[in-house]
Amino acid sequence: MGAHRVSVARRYRELMGEAEAERYDEIVNIAQIFKGDEVFAAAVIQKAEVPELIRRSLRVERIALAVSDDLGLDLRSLQTPNRRAEASHARALTAYLGKLCGRVPYSRTAAYFNRDASSIAKGVLNLDQALRHFRKLRDEVDVLARRLTKTSST
């Protein structure tokens, strides 16, 4: 039918009586986010989940300080090679809240605590499992998250 994929697709559409598709580079941009017309953009926006308010001003330092204060731990001890369970929990909680409230990458939290990103990610997975099973922990995390998002907006 043709030597290139584009020409094959065009000939197939002609054969099937379909209208010629628009070229991608000729499709109108909407808000530099969508390619297509306004009806298409509106449909996509309606289908997309509306994310909760994310505070981009939230930094790892602020989250770590809030977590260490809440758990009664020394912030500097969380940055040492210490492998105590409560320190690991605090680091995981910091990463979890950073991702949840400020879209802070785990790698940034790991660097702040002088850890490998994989160990932080593993801690977050363990925390996520615990959050599914323990309502009290969920409530504590919710309170911390609300406090962080509230203080970051002021």
* DSSP line for 89-130: HHHHHHHHHHHHHH---HHHHHHHTT--HHHHHHHHHHHHHH
Name the H helices within the chain.
5-15, 38-47, 60-71, 85-102, 106-112, 117-133, 135-152
Tell me the mean pLDDT in the region 65-88.
Answer: 91
Structure confidence at residue 10 (pLDDT): 74
Helix (H) or strand (E) holding 16: none
Domain ranges of the chain: 23-52, 60-152
Confidence (pLDDT) at 67: 96
Higher confidence at residue 33 or residue 105? 105
Average pLDDT, the chain: 80
Tokens 């959050």, located at residue: 131
* CB 91, CB 115: distance < 8 Å: yes
Express each pLDDT in 29-73 by its tens digit: 555 555 566 676 666 666 654 444 455 678 999 999 999 999 999
Give CA–CA dist 148/10, Å, rounded.
54
CATH topology classification for 60-152: Chromosomal Replication Initiator Protein Dnaa; Chain: A; (1.10.1750)
> For the whole prediction, is pTM greater than 0.75?
no
